[in-house]
Structure 1
Amino acid sequence: MALPITELNAVKPFKTQWKIQVKIVHSWTQYTQYSGETVEMILADTSGTLIHATVKKQQVNKFQKLITTGEWRTVENFTVAKSTGKYRPTSLPFKMTLMNTTAISRIPSISDDLYFDFANFPDILNVNGLNENILIGIFHSAYFFL
């Protein structure tokens, strides 16, 4: 029986059989002594909810060709855990990890939205100085002259 599509704000750690439709907003390769090389992603659903996702070293070769920034995918069967650590790239309290049984499928574009989630400046600069737990990115823009 096919799994129903679940919104990102509804995924929880108690099971692994979820099916989501998401846009790959951003991806990068990361290396740590603890986990080795991983592929990290920020995914968004149509409601604009963002989640941090990880592809562990063992699955990188399996999923690398399906991870294309700006494209939509269906992702089935993954783990969800509480997002911990000093830095969280999304406000969702959970992080997803792709497993060996995860299936990723290409789907047509659902939306052209960019799904930015900028922090408010007062949240970044609190009374004690810079809040180092908020990820700050740089948005590049292009200027065109006609």
Structure 2
Amino acid sequence: MEPNYTPLSDIDPMLDDVKVSARCISRWKSHPAGRPNEIWSLDMVLQDPQGNRVQATVRTKENINKFQLLIDEGSCYRTGNFGIGENGGKFPLLNHRFKIAFYKNTSVTRLPSFDNNVRGFKFEPFPNFASKRFTDTDVVDVIGTIVSITDPVPFNSSGVDQIRRNVVLEDPE
């Protein structure tokens, strides 16, 4: 019997027995500030067959070791028995209201690929990119030609000195 999957757009802490089918399109380890050799968490972006995305996090060292061996970027998985919490913080990666937390008993089973979009690209037409027809929290991709990149420009954000570079893109069409 084929399991019922919840689309990532519909996950909610109030739902029971949620199972999702999703591809891991990005995976990275987070570190505490100033301690690059200490792993704080294993984080992922998951994308379902409909293109919905959610961030997933693994916190404990034991679970990080377990899931970093099980989950590869570009592969599809059936996942269940996970927690769902608010996607808070000052700068959330995605605009999804919730995020997933993997626990000791979270089940992860590799599935056959459900599409050919291994990197999870969400292409926007160049005019939408140029006119900014999406929110600041959307993660989108565009195909263009880099025309120029500026030298580093210093700026201060929340009392922290940082640098940025401005990039000018040109529509290839």
Q: TM-score range by the shorter chain?
A: 0.7 to 0.9
**Distance (Å, rounded) in 2 between the aligned partners of 1:16 and 1:61:** 27
Q: Of the two structures, which has the highest relative contact order with CA contacts closer than 8 Å and spacing of 6 or more?
A: 1
The structure whose Rg is larger is 2
Aligned residue for 1:115? 120
User: Against the structure 1 CA distance between its residues 9 and 138, is the aligned structure 2 distance closer, same or farther, given a 3 Å change threshold?
Assistant: closer
| Structure 1 residue corresponding to 2:54, chosen from 36, 39, 51 | 51
TM-score, structure 1 length as denominator? 0.75
Q: Is the 8 Å Cα contact of residues 123 and 142 (structure 2) preserved in structure 1?
A: no
Question: 1:103-142 residue pairs with structure 2 within 5 A?
Answer: 103-113=107-117, 114-117=119-122, 120=129, 134=137
| Number of residue equivalences | 132
Equivalent residue letter for 1:116: F
1:96 and 2:100 matched: yes
Other structure's SS at 2:20 match? strand
**Distance (Å, rounded) in 2 between the aligned partners of 1:69 and 1:21:** 14
Identity percentage of aligned residues: 25
- Structure 1 gap ranges (5+): 124-130, 142-146
Superimposed CA distance per residue, residues 28-85 of structure 1 (whole angstroms, 9 cap, x where no aligned partner):
000237xx52110000001100000001123111111112000101111111111101
Other structure's SS at 1:9 match? helix
- Structure 2 gap ranges (5+): 34-38, 145-173
